[in-house]
Amino acid sequence: MASIKLSREALVHNLDIIAHQVGGKDKIAVVLKDNAYGHGAEMIAEAASQYGVTQAVVRLEREAEQIADFFENILILGQVATFVNPKFSYAVNSLEEISSYPCGARVELKIDTGMHRHGIHPSQLEDAFALMAQLGLVCIGIMSHYRSADTLSSEWFWQRRNFDEVKTRALKLGQQYGWSLRFHIANSAGTFRTAQCNDDMVRVGIALYGCLEMDDTLPQPALKSVLSLWGNKIATRLLKAGERIGYNGIYEAQEDEVVSTYDLGYANGLDRLASNRYATPSGAILRGRISMDCASFSTDSETLMIFNNANEYARAVGTIGYEILACLDKNLKREWSI
């Protein structure tokens, strides 16, 4: 059966690099949304917690409940609280949203420092604090998000400045309302963008999984990819010169060629756009169209590692490693390799 293998050694290696970068494990929040970027939320949660990470970030309450035992606090990015849990905090994405929260909910105010997707405008800070207090919410943090920390431009600098201005005002408001606040803005790229981490926490996703890509001129941490995707052989055959394989016969053997079909297809997350244009790290070439549940390669090996770094598969498709990872089939077997 096709499977996903995870390297604990790579994960710990990446956590060491991140902890060193930010000045301690206690500043790390691991981002485990969307099944921990396809890796398997519970497995990564358990390993990160064992390493000493106490903070996590997910999208939904359901995801937070699944990993609640492993962390001291879990930040939920994409859902208004439906109940109050002393371990959960919720990102508030607009001023209007505040009134939907139940009394006692712990929230973190998302500030729009320039990305303009969601978050309150810096000018709404005072109103937001007043409203949260009036409704009996507990604000535990102020957060934002960089839109291009991975690219060399002035973008990072002005967003950073906007956040620092908000920070100064929010600290005063926090004292006024009796809330002790934590501040965080950096994703993985933001974490490695500067030598010094002046915030209380960083939210690392892609760096944890070892697939961070930054502009060539920016820092390049030596991270290791955690996930590899493996297929098992269904059948082998000899294609005679001139024979074609798979749907619509888009690949024609130029000479006699051994090909095998493996038990992974686009339903498992093998993006179909890679059809006929991808080679595995061992040099097996994808032949013909990727089917729903299988794909053919120029090899007869019993098991085949499709990729051990999602960024490489992503390049064949014209997307980013994040998308390849996040779209991996939830039902694939996941296991630690080393």
Ligand X SMILES: *Cc1c(COP(=O)(O)O)cnc(C)c1O
Interface residues with ligand X (CB under 6 A) are 31, 33, 77, 145, 187-189, 203-207
Is the Cβ of residue 106 or residue 287 nearer to ligand X in the bound state? 106
Q: What angle do CA 230, 56, 23 make, to 5 degrees?
A: 100
Shortest Cβ 100–ligand X spacing (Å):
19
Shortest Cβ 59–ligand X spacing (Å):
8
Do the bridges between strand 303-307 and strand 88-92 make them parallel or antiparallel, or are there none, so unpaired? Answer: unpaired
Distance CA 91, CA 78 (A): 7
Distances (CA, A) of 253 to 76, 236, 279: 51, 15, 16
Do the bridges between strand 303-307 and strand 227-239 make them parallel or antiparallel, or are there none, so unpaired? Answer: antiparallel
Shortest Cβ 202–ligand X spacing (Å):
8
Q: Is 239 exposed, middle or buried (0-12, 13-18, 19+ CB in 10 A)?
A: buried
Q: Which residues contact 72 (CB under 8 A, 6 or more apart)?
A: 54, 55, 87
Which residues are catalytically annotated? Answer: 33, 247
Is the Cβ of residue 205 or residue 246 nearer to ligand X in the bound state? 205
- The 8-class DSSP code of residue 111 comes to B
Q: Which residues contact 235 (CB under 8 A, 6 or more apart)?
A: 260, 261
Q: Which residue is nearest to ligand X (CB)?
A: 205
Is residue 49 within 8 A of residue 15, CB to CB? The reply is no
Is the Cβ of residue 6 or residue 207 nearer to ligand X in the bound state? 207
Do the bridges between strand 28-31 and strand 138-143 make them parallel or antiparallel, or are there none, so unpaired? Answer: unpaired
Is the Cβ of residue 155 or residue 243 nearer to ligand X in the bound state? 155
Shortest Cβ 309–ligand X spacing (Å):
15
Shortest Cβ 334–ligand X spacing (Å):
19
Is the Cβ of residue 42 or residue 323 nearer to ligand X in the bound state? 323
Task: Write the single-letter amino acid at 50.
Answer: Q
In the numeric block, the tokens 């944890």 are attached to: 208
